[in-house]
């Protein structure tokens, strides 16, 4: 059976850290659905459509990756799309604590869906969408923190 993972996140914007996780996960899963959602705790900088466009550019030549917008619970999205895995990335112990609680609650709600974590490479531990948004808002050059395929000046934030 096809192994499908959902990689949910706000991806505001998608970074080299996110890209690294997805590329490594391609050796584990047959298909990855990058699910762009709104994070209730964070006000978005780029619109969902802009984020989807940016991410689609990065994986334009990868037929095993789909980029979608989703609302609601990640486990519900997984169940209605035949995905048995939730993919998440880990940078720090703080990420682990945050992810642990979510994964354990998800496990109660959907026992057949497994959360799979990939530890980021050391060079990406400091890469953080919140800091990147601050750099962009302040007129700085954040290009080294996003995948090469994303030309930040082609996109407008704070929409």
Using CB under 6 A, list all residues that contact ligand ADP.
9-11, 15, 17-18, 21, 39, 88-89, 91, 95, 120, 124, 127, 129
Of all residues in this chain, which one has the CB nearest to ligand ADP in the complex? 17
Task: Work out how close the CB of 20 gets to ligand ADP at its nearest, in angstroms, rounded to a whole number.
Answer: 6
CB of 139 to ligand ADP, least distance (A): 23
User: 153: exposed, middle or buried (C-beta count within 10 Å: 0-12, 13-18, 19+)?
Assistant: exposed
In the set 91, 107, 125, 143, the catalytic residue is 91
Nearer to ligand ADP, 19 or 84 (CB): 19
Rounded to whole angstroms, how far apart are CA atoms 158 and 101? 30
In the block, residue with structure tokens 């302040």 = 138
Q: How far apart are CA 31 and CA 83, in angstroms?
A: 9
- Closer residue to ligand ADP (CB): 17 or 147: 17
Residue whose token pair is 């990406």: 124
User: Least separation, in Å, of the C-beta of 114 and ligand ADP?
Assistant: 15
Whether the bond into 13 is cis, omega within 30 of 0: yes
Task: List residues with catalytic annotation.
Answer: 18, 42, 91, 129
């Amino acid at each position: 059976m096809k192994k499908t993972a959902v990689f949910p996140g706000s991806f505001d914007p998608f970074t080299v850290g996110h890209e690294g996780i997805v590329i490594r996960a391609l050796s584990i899963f047959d298909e990855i659905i990058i699910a762009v959602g709104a994070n209730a705790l964070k006000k978005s900088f780029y619109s969902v459509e802009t984020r989807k466009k940016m991410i689609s550019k990065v994986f334009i030549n990868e037929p095993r990756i789909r980029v979608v917008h989703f609302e609601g619970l990640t486990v519900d999205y997984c169940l209605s799309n035949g995905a048995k895995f939730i993919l998440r990335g880990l940078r720090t112990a703080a990420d682990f604590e945050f992810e642990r609680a979510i994964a354990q609650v998800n496990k109660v709600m959907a026992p057949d869906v497994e959360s799979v974590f990939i530890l980021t490479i050391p060079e990406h531990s400091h890469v953080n969408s919140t800091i990147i948004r601050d750099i962009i808002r302040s007129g700085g050059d954040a290009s080294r923190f996003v995948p090469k395929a994303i030309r930040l000046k082609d996109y407008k934030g704070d929409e």
